[in-house]
Amino acid sequence: MIILLVIFAILGNGANLLIPKIISRGIDDYTSRHYVLNKIAIEFLAATFIIFVFSYLQNIIQTYTSERVARDLREQLSNKISQQSFTFIQESNPSKLLTNMTSDIDSVKMFVSQAVSSITSSIFIILGTTIILLTIDWELALTVICIIPIIAVMFFIVLKKVRLLFKKSREVIDWLNKVINESILGAAVIRVINSQQIEYQKFLAANTEAKNLGISILTLFATLIPVITLVSNLATLSILALGGHFVINGRISLGDFAAFNSYVTILIFPIIIIGFMSNVIAQATASYQRIERVLKAQDIIEAGTIVKPLKGNINLRGISLLYDGKPILKNVSINIKAGSRTAIIGPTAAGKSQLLYLLTGLIKQNSGTIEFDGQNIDDYKQDSFHKQVGFVFQDSILFNMSLRENIAFSNIVTDESLKKSLETSELNEFVELLPQKLNSIVSERGSSLSGGQKQRIMLARALALNPKILLLDDFTARVDSQTEEKILNNVNKNYPGITLISVTQKIAPVENYDQVILLMEGEVIAAGNHKKLLNNCPEYIQIYNSQRSTSHYEL
C-alpha cells in the first residue's frame, strides 16, 4: 500500500514538474519561431490528465491506508487492553485509555493520511526540481539549493521543542476527559447540590491549560513558517539578481530564466508543506509514544491448565493485601467447605469486597495462597474457572443493551439456565410488565431501573452461569427483606449444592449459615456459626444488638 502510495505520489508530482518545462519550451519555441500549437497543447493536456488520474488514485489509497492503519491500531489496542488485568485498567486510568483510543489514534492517522504522502512527494519534488535546476545552470542552482540545509536546521530546532509541548497537551486532554466524565457520571449530585459552577471552574482550569499549551505550540510554528517563507523568498531574490546578471551576460536564455523562476516557485511550495507537516509529525510522535506504552504492557500469561469442575472447597491461608502501601487484608485464613453457606460480616471498609475480588482473581494478593479444592487458584484455566464462579457486585454494572444480553452475559448461558436464573431472582414479574420483555434495552448506567431491580439483574447474571460457587457482595442492601428471603430460598431450591459466600450487613438472614466470619480492619476477628459467635465474640454481639430492636419485623 505505502509503496503504491509513494509511486502514485511520485508519478502525479513528476508530471506536475513537466508543466513549467512545457511552458518554457512553448515560449522558447515561439521566440525562435518554431512554435507548433497542437504539439504543445497535446503534451500539456496529457500531463494534466496524468496528474489528475494519479493524484486521485493517490488520494484514494491515502484514505484507505490511513483508515486501515487507524483501524488496525485501534484493534491492537483493544486486544491488548482486553487481555489486561483489572488492576491495569484502574492504574492506567480509563480516561487516559479513552484518549489513547480516540485522539491519539487520530493523530497517527493524520500522519499517515497527510504527512507520509505529502512529505515523500515534497521530497521528491525538491529533489527533482534540484536536478532540473542543476542541469539548467549549476551555479545559479547551487545558490538556490543552499536554502535547504538552512531550513532543515530550523525544523530540527523547533520540532525538538514542540514534541514536549505536544506530549503535555495530550495529558491535558486526559484531564479534560476526566472532568467531563465526572460531571456526567455525577450529574445528579451536581444538580442536587447546585454545584454546576464548581464543575465549570474545574473545567475552566483544564481548558485554560489546554489553551495556553495550544498558544505555546502555535508561537513556535508562527516563527517557523515565516522564516521558511523568508528563506525561500531570498532564493527568488538571488535568482533575480544573479540570474538577471547571467541573462545580461548571455550565459542563459530568457526562457531558461523564466523556467528557473517557475521552478523556484515549485521548490518553495513543498518546503512550506513540510513546515506544516512538521506539526502533524510532532503530534503523531507524541501520540504514538503514548499508544506504544499500552501496546508494550506485559501480557498476563495464562499459566493455569486445570479445567475440572469445581466442588467448592475454598481455602485461604495467610492472605495479605496492600493498596498503595495501605494494608487492606492482614494475614487472613479462612476455610470453606463445598456446599456450605458462609457469611462475611464486618464494618465499612473492613476489606470484605476485596476478599471477594481475590476469590474471583480480579486482584492478586501480596502474600498467602488461595486454593480451590486443594489447587492454587492460578492453576485453574481462567476460562473454565470463571464459568463456575458467579459474582454479584455491590455496585450495579449494566451495559447499554437488552435485558436478555445483560443477564445472559456469559456465552455459556442457555435458555434454560436463563429461565431458571430469572425465576430465582424473582424477576419474572418485573420482566412481564416491560413492554418488550427481555428485549427491552437497558440504558447506560441503568438509569431507568430502580436500585433493587438492578441488584436482581446482577444476581440473575451470576446465576445464569449455573455456578458452583456464588459470591454475593452486599446483595441484600437494596432488596426488601421479603424479596430477599424468597430469593435466598429460591437459590437453595434451584441450585442445590452451591457454595455460597455472602458479604452482608444483616445478621438475621444468616443465623443458620454454616459459618459466619467477622472481618474488621482487614483481620478475621472471629469465625464460627451464629450461636458460637453470640457466645464468645463481643464485637459480634454489638452488631447483633444494633439490629435486634427490629428483628421481630423481619419475619
Chain residues 462-491 in contact with other proteins, contact rule CB under 8 A: 465, 474, 477-483
Would you call 477 exposed, middle or buried from its count of C-beta atoms within 10 A (0-12, 13-18, 19+)?
A: middle
Instruction: Please tell me the chain's helix, strand, coil percentages from 3-state DSSP, rounded to the nearest 5.
Output: 70, 10, 20
- Secondary structure of 470-487 in the HEC alphabet? EEEECHHHHCCHHHHHHH
Task: Give residues 84-113 in contact with other proteins (rule: CB under 8 A).
Answer: 85-86, 89-90, 94, 97-98, 101-103, 106, 113
Residues 390, 469 contacting (CB under 8 angstroms): yes
| CB neighbourhood size of 183 (10 A) | 17
450 binds other proteins per the rule CB under 8 A: yes
83 binds other proteins per the rule CB under 8 A: yes
- Indicate the residue among 88 and 337 with the shorter CB distance to other proteins: 88
Provide the grid cell at 398. 449494566
- The dihedral over CA atoms of 213, 217, 222, 228, expressed in degrees to the nearest 10, equals 180
222 binds other proteins per the rule CB under 8 A: yes
447 binds other proteins per the rule CB under 8 A: yes
Contacting residue, 6, 7, 17, 19, with other proteins by CB under 8 A = 19
CA 550 to chain centre: 49
383 binds other proteins per the rule CB under 8 A: yes
155 binds other proteins per the rule CB under 8 A: no
Contacting residue, 1, 2, 32, 78, with other proteins by CB under 8 A = 78
- Indicate the residue among 376 and 410 with the shorter CB distance to other proteins: 410
299 binds other proteins per the rule CB under 8 A: no
205 binds other proteins per the rule CB under 8 A: no
With b for 16 or more beta-carbon neighbours within 10 A and e for fewer, the 43-67 pattern comes to beeebeebbeebbebbbebbeebbe
With b for 16 or more beta-carbon neighbours within 10 A and e for fewer, the 450-472 pattern comes to eebbbbbbbbbbbbbbbbbbbbb
Provide the grid cell at 167. 506530549
Least CB distance from residue 507 to other proteins, whole Å? 8
Contacting residue, 367, 443, 489, 535, with other proteins by CB under 8 A = 443
* N-term to C-term CA, the chain: 73
Task: Give residues 167-186 in contact with other proteins (rule: CB under 8 A).
Answer: 173, 176-178, 180-186
**Rounded distance, CA 298 to CA 305, Å?**
20
The closest of 521, 481, 477 to 502, measured between CA atoms, is 477
Least CB distance from residue 489 to other proteins, whole Å? 13
269 binds other proteins per the rule CB under 8 A: yes
Contacting residue, 123, 205, 241, 307, with other proteins by CB under 8 A = 241
Alpha helices in 93-241 (DSSP H): 94-99, 105-110, 117-136, 138-145, 147-185, 187-193, 196-238
Binding footprint of other proteins, residue count (CB under 8 A): 177
Contacting residue, 149, 435, 496, 538, with other proteins by CB under 8 A = 435
193 binds other proteins per the rule CB under 8 A: yes
35 binds other proteins per the rule CB under 8 A: yes
Contacts with other proteins, 393-432, as mask; x by CB under 8 A: xxxxxxxx--------xxx-----------------xx--
Task: Give residues 519-548 in contact with other proteins (rule: CB under 8 A).
Answer: 542-543, 546-547
Query: Sheet containing 523-528: which strands, arranged edge to edge?
Result: 389-392, 469-473, 499-504, 341-345, 515-520, 523-528
382 binds other proteins per the rule CB under 8 A: yes
Q: Which part of the chain contacts other proteins (CB under 8 A), choosing from 127-135, 160-168, 202-210, 364-372?
A: 202-210
120 binds other proteins per the rule CB under 8 A: no
> Which amino acid is present at 495?
Y
Contacting residue, 123, 215, 303, 307, with other proteins by CB under 8 A = 215
Contacting residue, 353, 376, 490, 529, with other proteins by CB under 8 A = 353
Contacting residue, 196, 333, 367, 414, with other proteins by CB under 8 A = 196
Residue given cell 464485637 in the structure block? 539
314 phi-psi bin (left φ>0, alpha ψ -120 to 50, beta other) = beta
Least CB distance from residue 543 to other proteins, whole Å? 6
Helix (H, G, I), strand (E, B) or coil at 469: strand
Q: Which part of the chain contacts other proteins (CB under 8 A), choosing from 144-152, 159-167, 320-328, 487-495?
A: 320-328
- Please report the sign of the dihedral spanned by the C-alpha atoms of residue 383, residue 389, residue 393, residue 396: positive
- Indicate the residue among 56 and 156 with the shorter CB distance to other proteins: 56
Provide the grid cell at 514. 454454616
- Indicate the residue among 120 and 360 with the shorter CB distance to other proteins: 360
Contacting residue, 1, 2, 32, 75, with other proteins by CB under 8 A = 75
